[in-house]
Structure 1
Amino acid sequence: MANKILVFLEQRQGQIKKSSYEAVSASIALSQNLNSEIEGVVIGGEVENVRLAGNYGLKKLYHIKNEQLENYSSSAYTDSLLEIINTADAQIIVFSSTSMGKDLAPRIAAKLDCGIVTDVTEWKVENGEIIATRPVYAGKALTDVKVKSEKKIFTLRPNVFKAEKISEQEAEIEVKNPGDLNLKTRVVDIKKSDTKLDVAEADIIVSGGRGMKAPENFKLIEELADLLGAATGASRAVVDAGWRPHSEQVGQTGKTVSPTLYIALGISGAIQHLAGMRSSKYIVAVNKDKDAPIFQIADYGIVGDVFEIVPAMIEELKKLRTIEHG
């Protein structure tokens, strides 16, 4: 069938990532408008609950299974995925725009000599063709893109498309055992915090900037984040100063995030930072400078001292918790 869609589902330590289910749901909606088939592919060793992809509308899933593929290998993943693209005769290949997706998708595009649109925030079908929308100029503008090549690749920005369970049906799994693996590049080990949420996938983020004045003051941000069940983020200036790890950096040279709620504390709002978070659904900003650029995109702004306002926010949240559990 023309315009067959293949969605790449990313797994990490045997668990399919939430952003992959978002890509599935977005692709299901697209396939209905194109009247096309849709299948998925996951690469790894043992993947827990792999059949649950069917809950999101995916009827068939290829599982390229080998314990040596548990961690990412750009060379082996590229070769394995190309084989499935040919087997499935897919014309549209969809990735989530995660770190892995950003690395793997361009490799596949180069091998297939086809067009690619990255960081898509919206798409639609007009006259049988896909029109994809993506941010440009550090997020200050949006552009609509049409891919002319026969095969097309898209990466979708996480937390923009909603992952929706639409049935109780499980996906049919076709296991593929790859032959000789090209493992000249591979991830040897992954170290992940047991307590911190990944800022790139969190639904709520509390971020701090230079207005926090010192690294020890980030305990306020951590406490607020803990009460909200949020991830902690940081501006580039804070990371460059060594106050916070690079994994928390939000912005053009850090991570692009699209949470439901983004709380910016002591962040002035340099264009590089705004590029990484301006697509958040709701933005709350606290800054003592009433002319700070962050207020231009904030849904709610508080002009004041973070060291007065944040403790007050924490206190109110604690009261709410007490009422809820009282």
Structure 2
Amino acid sequence: MRVFAVAEIRLGELDPVSVELLNLANSVKGDGKSEAVVIGKDVGSFAEELAKYADVVWKIEDDSLENYNPELYADVLLQLFEKEKPDLILFPNSSRGAELAPLVASKLNAPIATDVVGVDVKDGIKVSRYIFQGKLMVDIMLKKAECYVLTVRQGVFKEGEETNGEIVDAGIKPKVTPRREFVGIIEPEVGEVDISQADIIVSVGRGIEDASNIELAEELAKLLGGVVAGSRPVIDNGWLPKDRQVGISGKTVKPKLYLALGISGAFQHVMGMKDSELIIAINKDPEAPIFGVAHYGVVGDLFEIVPVLIEKLQKIKG
């Protein structure tokens, strides 16, 4: 099948979710092709990066496409899909993807599923997504159609192989006059790190007890070369910024090491980190659900155990 992944450029940089879409595309394409679409002004460097993971990269360039405009972007995408018939179109489940995907799907009369975390193409298109604020995961079989549109959750499809594909200039320009006008960008508060891309995460839960104690986790994370994140209670208390939240209502992470300190392991949190390569949990409660997903667990007081870990790491590092 021909699987198109619509890349996303934000503030002059290629969003890593673009590669994740291609990882998914490559896993479901079968004997077909993974095809990236990159839209903007002077997107050659982004196309080269995407070509490492796609069989084909379609460049759509024009001065009017320098800044995101849903009407222009939908127009050029539909022009491309009129010439190059897709079987499956993937968008990031971002604010931009959530706007563009329905526009494209409605014009193509294509079934759409949003915020998917799994895709099965063995017998039609079946997707997995969470409902009821992450309390349940459901499998949804989309009705049979010529084309399907999905928005994909970031941080889920981080594993993939390089393919080294070709870059093609689509030769497409916008044909519509947009009703919206780009005025400017109001940048959000910039977080220090993107936890969804971190290889090592030290995550704290309610057991950290107070904001001042997070310094302990920060010291441990620094020695490990990682970053600090937290469960929802920590974020709700204002002890860490929202962009550090792991879980259904936060970010999905798949680090090489996830060290959970004082985290009970509520379902909503576990769904955001269960696919980490190595999970180590420290909790006083031997019945804490986090031990159900941890590869290694320590039943004990984090305030006794973490200082010992820090001391050992300091000695190893000299």
The TM-score range, normalised by the shorter chain, is 0.7 to 0.9
Answer yes or no: is the 8 Å Cα contact 1:28–1:38 preserved in 2: yes
Q: Does 1:300 align with 2:296?
A: yes
Of residues 134-143 and 53-62 in structure 1, the stretch that sits farther from structure 2 once superposed is 134-143
Contact 1:52 1:170 (8 Å CA) reproduced: no
Deviates more, 1:58-67 or 1:248-257: 58-67
Q: CA deviation at 1:8?
A: 0.8
Q: Residue 141 of structure 2 aligns to which amino acid in structure 1?
A: V
- Percent identity over the alignment is 36
Superposition CA RMSD, Å:
3.1
Distance of 1:269 and 1:312 partners within structure 2: 23
Which residue of structure 2 aligns with residue 160 of structure 1? Answer: 157
From 215, 221, 235, the equivalent of 2:217 is 221
Residue 282 (1) aligns with residue 278 (2)? yes
Higher mean displacement: 185-194 or 53-62: 185-194
SS of residue in 1 equivalent to 2:51: helix
In the superposition, the TM-score normalised over structure 1's length comes to 0.80
One-letter amino acid of the counterpart of residue 251, structure 1: G
| Corresponding residue for residue 101 of structure 2 | 105
Counterpart of 2:157 in structure 1: which amino acid?
V
1:51 aligns with 2:57: no
Matches within 5 A, 1:86-105: 86-98=82-94, 100-105=96-101
Structure 2: where are the runs of 5+ without partners?
A: none
Distance 1:203 1:11 in 2: 23
Tell me what 1:270 maps to.
Answer: 266
Question: Aligned pair in 2 of structure 1 residues 260, 140: CA closer, same or farther (>3 Å)?
Answer: farther
Out of 186, 191, 207, the residue aligned to residue 189 of structure 1 is 186
Distance 2:55 2:233 in 1: 43
Shift of the alpha carbon at 1:140?
5.6
Aligned residues: 314
Distance of aligned partners of 1:172 and 1:304 in 2 relative to their CA distance in 1, 3 Å threshold: same
Say whether the 8 Å CA contact 1:159–1:203 is kept in structure 2: no
Structure 1 CA distance, aligned partners of 2:267 and 2:61? Answer: 41
Distance 1:220 1:88, change over 3 A: farther
**Aligned residue number for residue 19 of structure 2:** 21
Query: Is residue 208 of structure 2 the alignment partner of residue 212 of structure 1?
Result: yes
Asked if residue 116 in structure 1 is aligned to residue 112 in structure 2, the reply is yes
Amino acid aligned to 2:239: W
**1:136–1:186: structure 2 CA closer, same or farther, 3 Å change rule?**
farther
Q: Distance in 2 between matches of 1:279 and 1:264?
A: 14
- Note the C-alpha offset of 1:152: 0.5
Task: Indicate conservation of the 8 Å contact 1:64/1:178, yes or no.
Answer: no
Equivalent-residue separation in structure 1 for 2:76 and 2:274 (angstroms): 36
Q: Determine whether 1:232 maps to 2:262.
A: no
Q: 1:173 to 1:58 in 2, by over 3 A?
A: farther
Structure 2 match to 1:317: 313
1:12 equivalent among 10, 13, 16: 10
In 2, Cα distance between equivalents of 1:103 and 1:109: 11
SS in structure 2 of the partner of residue 276 of structure 1: coil
3-state secondary structure, aligned to 2:248: coil
In structure 2, the CA distance between the partners of 1:260 and 1:100, relative to structure 1 (3 Å rule), is farther
Aligned to 2:244: 248
- From 58, 61, 80, the counterpart of 1:61: 58
Q: Tell whether the 8 Å contact from 2:205 to 2:264 is kept in structure 1 after alignment.
A: yes
Using the alignment, how far apart are the partners of 1:111 and 1:146 within structure 2? 17
Q: For 1:56, what is the secondary structure of its paired residue?
A: coil
Q: Is the 8 A contact 1:54 1:170 kept in 2?
A: yes
1:200 aligned counterpart, secondary structure = helix
Q: Deviations over 1:117-160 (max 9, x none)?
A: 34444444436x34444456736656363442322023344243
Q: Which residue of 1 aligns with 2:194?
A: 198
* Alignment CA distance shift 1:178-1:241 (3 Å): same
Q: For residues 73 and 183 of structure 2, what CA distance do their matches in structure 1 show? A: 9
Report the CA distance shift for 1:49/1:77 in structure 2 as closer, same or farther (over 3 A): closer
CA contact (8 A) 1:207 1:235 kept: yes
Structure 1: segments with no counterpart, 5+ residues: none
